[in-house]
Homo-oligomer: A and B are copies of this chain.
Amino acid sequence: MNKKISIVDIANALNISKTTVSFILNGRAQEKRISEELVKRVLKLVKEVGYKPNSLAKSLRTGKSNIIGLMVEDISNPFFANIARLIEDRAYEKGYRIIYCSTDNDTEKTQDLLTMFQDRHVDGYIIAPPKNIEDDVAALIKSGLPVVMFDRYLPNVDTDYVVVDNQFSTYNATRHLIEQGYSKIAFITFASEQTQMLDRVEGYKNALKEARLKPYLREIDFNRNEELIIEPLTAYLKRNPDFDAVLFGTDHIGTCGLKVIKHLGLQVPADLAVVSFDDYDVFKLYSPPVTAIAQPIEAIADNVISLLLKKLDANHTQTTQKITLSTTLNTRDSSRSMLKVAITK
């Protein structure tokens, strides 16, 4: 990537003025009546030459901070860390900087951070909301500040959001286990009243009900101390040696689950088939590799930032958009057919 490319170079290459390039890069094309075709050509070249509009914000008189506040649940969780990184990249390409922080799913902390962001004059908010934050978010929106939610949403607040089809994802993963011959399938997840977690439980239950199988749901309280997750998880699996498969509700509980399974010396899938929500290196590199529900994190990041940029464009109509994306079930050896397992045993 050539770091010496400037706005002038881009202007010269396309035989247009520097000011035009600048207007386009600052989202003022419509206001300045610059043709969509030219906007596309400029953005294409900007991307091709790898131009990064670093010091743009400073030099412009848009009256905006060009800063977006991003609130994730926990930045040390790979799902949120990866999404945050992708959103940061996308935003930076468009001349926005992201500042992020972790809410810890703590309502008071979230309220405090929202205030901090407001004091720092951020232009917009991207939030994976904790519970009981409805009033604060509604107040933000009322004051004209753009808010996009992701991962989960607040049913009683009308905002833009980007989520995945959680219910179908776990329904589909559970169906997969049933089709592979498993029948005593547990669902182990974190206790939560958030929309995405409720939907995951629902999908699991629906698949079992349809197949007239009994559900075994174990909701473990989240704790920052991993030992306090591993302990009840170990006890639950020990108490139920007849389970033939388990579906984990998140990457974090899935990783803890693998530690327990390894510690108990259980063979996967002979003793216990495994499927987890979220797909990361831990699952790909496990022996055998673990079947996982992959969230489309690039698409989530793209959609979140597009929605927010649209909202930031004052000329754009302010209808809310609710986007639900599909996940992919990456089937691997941890859930291979019971029949084949029996033969190779």
Cα–Cα, bound, A78→B55 (Å): 29
Contact A76 B67 (CB under 8 A): no
Contact A97 B82 (CB under 8 A): no
Q: Mark A72-116, 1 if CB is under 8 A from B, else 0.
A: 001110100110110010001000011111100010110111011
Q: Mark A1-31, 1 if CB is under 8 A from B, else 0.
A: 0010000000000000000000000000000
Stretch in contact with the other chain, from A184-192, A255-263, A308-316, A333-341: A255-263
Supposing A55-B112, A99-B101 touch, asked if A74 and B85 sit within 8 A by C-beta, the answer is yes
CB contacts (< 8 Å) of A65 on chain B: these are 119-120
Report A111 CB to chain B, min CB distance, Å.
7
Stretch in contact with the other chain, from A142-150, A162-170, A230-238, A280-288: A280-288
Contact B281 A58 (CB under 8 A): no
Q: Mark A110-132, 1 if CB is under 8 A from B, else 0.
A: 01110110011000000000000
Contact B101 A100 (CB under 8 A): yes
Report A108 CB to chain B, min CB distance, Å.
5
CB contacts (< 8 Å) of A92 on chain B: these are 109
Contact B67 A75 (CB under 8 A): no
Contact A52 B255 (CB under 8 A): no
CB contacts (< 8 Å) of A54 on chain B: these are 108-109, 111-112
Give which listed residue, B115, B258, B284, contacts A259 with CB less than 8 A.
B284
16 examples of A-B residue contacts, CB within 8 angstroms: A3-B108, A55-B112, A57-B116, A65-B119, A74-B85, A75-B75, A75-B85, A75-B88, A97-B112, A99-B99, A99-B101, A99-B120, A120-B120, A258-B285, A282-B282, A286-B287
